[in-house]
Chains A and B, each alone.
Chain A
Amino acid sequence: MEVSTSSPQVAGSVDWPSDWLRATLGFLCLRALSAGPSYGYAIISELERHGFGTIKGGTLYPLLTRYETAGLVTTEWRAGDGGPGRKYFALTETGRTELTRLSADWLRFSGATTRYLDQPTMEGSS
């Protein structure tokens, strides 16, 4: 996957509470890798383009390192065009299975949250 130059698909504000991003960044990164192997800046750009703000390298790389240790991603250095190479991250089968599981869980969780928030409030009820 390369850095896209198409028009951004911003999902709204990028100023999300840090707790929310901390909880979701893991499977968002797995999702960013689902289309194929990618590198640090491309993953950051992909997440930024989809409205999650600018993820710092100090947040992204420790996460990906933990995922590599856990066997969810593999890494490979590929030669650059006349310059230094790039480190590519790729989903493993375990990583793909984990992404599917976490995505389903998240959809159930966000659905439940939305349904609860959409419920009319019963002010004055005891």
Chain B
Amino acid sequence: MIQQTSDKKWFDQLVMELRMRQVHGSAIGDTIASAKELLRDTGQPAEKMFGPARDYAKALELPSAPKHDWICQALWPSTLGLLAFLLFNQAVVPWTRSELLLVSPAQLAFLATPVVLIAFLPLYLDAIIRRIWLCVGLSGIGALSGVLSAVAAPQNRAEAWLAVDPLPWLIGSALVMVALSIRNTTQSALTTGHDDITDPSSATAKSTGTGIKVFVQITNWLFPLLALAMLGLALVLR
């Protein structure tokens, strides 16, 4: 029982390490199946037979997708989506109150913090996946900067660095969010299942279930949905 638990943990770590190395799902399935085959034959624990999962994943030197692929396909659209969402949030309240959008330098700096954190994610992604406290810390910084941006918002036009009509920003940011969501939906529909982990020893794939598909679609439309909620809240509270 203990060995099964430790082996499961080892295999989970191996899958994570191979995913982080951008190894294709079919190659991961092959690696997992061949390792399980040897463990069945020898009856030894995975850690003893293959060493630490991280070292084994590195030693295999499996072909991987170029590291920049996910940055272009996922990271930049997400960063742009977040930027559009933050702009929308800044513009929505002044628009519902028929006021100008007032901006201060400190407010802009606080708003830029989560965008910068996400834009530089490739530099420290490995570290935050392996250290949960770092992930919690960075999420906390992002949330705190959001709160501080509200505190630093100018109260009147004299305090403001910029005073602009919120409507173009509202429409522009909404269009960007919707365009990115349509792009993500199309892309996920085209690529669903192509990188699933397939078990070659039984020729079955861990197919993408309905729950996962729904979750992916919600994620694709997360910013427009949240923006709609913010708009509704602003209209109710005005």
Contacts and interface: CB of A to CB of B under 8 A. Distances in A.
Interface of A: 39-41, 44, 56-58, 61-62, 65-66, 69, 75, 77, 80, 84-87
Contact of A84 (B33, B51, B56, B63): B33
Contacts of B31: 61
B150 to A, nearest CB: 52
Contacts of A66: 61
B153 to A, nearest CB: 56
B202 A85 contact: yes
B59 A58 contact: yes
A17 B63 CA distance: 31
B132 interface: no
Given A84-B40, A85-B33, A87-B34, 5 more contacts: A58-B49, A58-B56, A61-B31, A61-B60, A69-B61
8 contacts: A40-B34, A56-B50, A62-B59, A65-B61, A66-B61, A75-B30, A85-B33, A85-B201
A58 B37 contact: no
Nearest to A54: B42
Interface of B: 30-31, 33-42, 48-51, 55-56, 59-63, 200-203
A87 B200 contact: yes
Contacts of A85: 33, 37, 200-202
A126 B36 CA distance: 60
Nearest to A42: B41
A61 B51 CA distance: 12
Given A65-B61, A66-B61, A57 B201 contact: no
A57 B60 contact: no
